[in-house]
Amino acid sequence: MKPFADTIKTFVRDLRNPKRHSSKIIWVLLVVLLIPIIIVIPEFVRPANIANVLIQMAPLGMVAIGQTYVILGGGIDLSVGSQISLISLIASTLMTDSPLNIIAVAALCLVCGVLFGALNGFILKLFPMPPIIVTLCTGYFFQGIAFALHKTSGGYIPVALKQVLTANSGFFSVPFGLYVLLFAIFAYVLYRTRFGRYVYALGGNADVLEKSGIRIDRIKIKTYMVSGLLCAIVGIYLAARLRSGSARYGDEYTLLSITATVVGGTSMAGGLGGLTGTFAGTILISMLTNVLNNIAFRYNLQSTYYKDIITGILLISAMYFYRNRK
């Protein structure tokens, strides 16, 4: 019993050590949660269901990558949900059946996403305002434009795009593949490039970064642009999946992406954490959502209502757990 207690103690001390950005605890939590889930709901581990969870986690995972960049840089992006909705509407308003048009509109959407992110960054550069206020307001702004674009029907998305973006066979599916690809790219950028180190430094100690001759505004704008780009990809994917756009598609992603990031061990103050933690956080949320859907289906309940509550409690407890860092 003694060595076990010691292990636990070292483990907890490791976690409390502000110099380490450990995402171990979240992986442990995942495994600990998985055991009762498998006992209560054996269907959870069926291959079809696992494949389903992987598809479901893709959009959230992509948004959370961007959110992690922004939070690591000491900011926060509350406008991701509205950006996704607006992009889905831009796509569904402009698309027609010709392949050239599909590609052009998709490219336009990606550019728009980057521009939305850049807008957030530029406002922050011009005025010394807290990022919460700025992104909350730009979020309402984007949602306003989305409502203006959202007339009676949700527009039109060609079948071909849906078929391409939702194709799947067995464990492999396009959305999850895309997520893994993007994750690999952005993890490489974050951990192995100079820009990635600057993002950490920006959240850790912006003053020092500025005094060593780096233009911190540019780094900050770039983090928001990353977030915007990923929102655009998710916006196109969601629009394609349901073959229409809506001013409400993105609503849940704001809180979910923050939750995935923070649960994964990234500090709200910035400079601490990383994408591996966010990956685990995304898995946790998708797993819980799937289990919740399963239970809700069994007892004939509405799962989305419970999902809101659970997300809220999850984020509060994660913040409470990490409160002593930094």
Partner 1 sequence: MKGMLAPIRKLKLTQILRTPHAVGVFGVYIGFIILLIISYIISPASRTLQDFINLLKQSSGLGMLAIGQTMVIMTGGIDLCLGSIVTLVHVLTIGLMNGDPSRILGVCLLGLAVGSLAGLFNGLGITKARIAPFVMTLCTDFILRGLYMIYTKGQPKGILAESFRNLGRYRIFGMVPLSVLFWIVLSALFIFILKKTVFGNRVHMIGANAVCSTLSGVKNDRIIIAVYTLAGLLAAFTSIVLTMDMSAVSLNLGADYSMDSISAAVVGGTMFAGGIGGVEGTVAGALIIRLITSLLQKANIANWGKLLIQSVLILSVVAANSRKKRT
Residues lying near partner 1 in the complex (CB under 8 A) are found at: 78, 123, 126-130, 132-134, 136-141, 143-148, 255, 258, 262, 268, 302, 304-309, 311-313, 315-316, 319-320, 323
State the minimum distance, in angstroms, from the CB of residue 216 to partner 1: 16
Which residue, 138 or 173, is less far from partner 1 as judged by CB?
138
Which residue, 11 or 147, is less far from partner 1 as judged by CB?
147
Residue 156 is given by DSSP the state -
Which residue, 12 or 132, is less far from partner 1 as judged by CB?
132
CA–CA dist 245, 237 (Å, integer): 10
Query: Which tokens sit at 265?
Result: 């061990």
State the minimum distance, in angstroms, from the CB of residue 293 to partner 1: 15
State the minimum distance, in angstroms, from the CB of residue 324 to partner 1: 9
Which residue, 140 or 171, is less far from partner 1 as judged by CB?
140
Query: Which tokens sit at 24?
Result: 């171990």
CA–CA dist 258, 230 (Å, integer): 14
State the minimum distance, in angstroms, from the CB of residue 39 to partner 1: 26
Proportion of the chain in helix, strand, coil states, percent, rounded to 5: 75, 0, 20
Other CB atoms within 10 A of residue 96 CB: 12
CA–CA dist 290, 55 (Å, integer): 11
Which residue, 261 or 290, is less far from partner 1 as judged by CB?
261
Phi, psi (rounded to 5 degrees) for 205: -155, 90
Residue recorded with tokens 């598809």: 55
State the minimum distance, in angstroms, from the CB of residue 3 to partner 1: 32
**Nearest residue to 82 (alpha-carbon basis) of 237, 284, 255:** 255
Which residue, 95 or 318, is less far from partner 1 as judged by CB?
318
State the minimum distance, in angstroms, from the CB of residue 273 to partner 1: 15
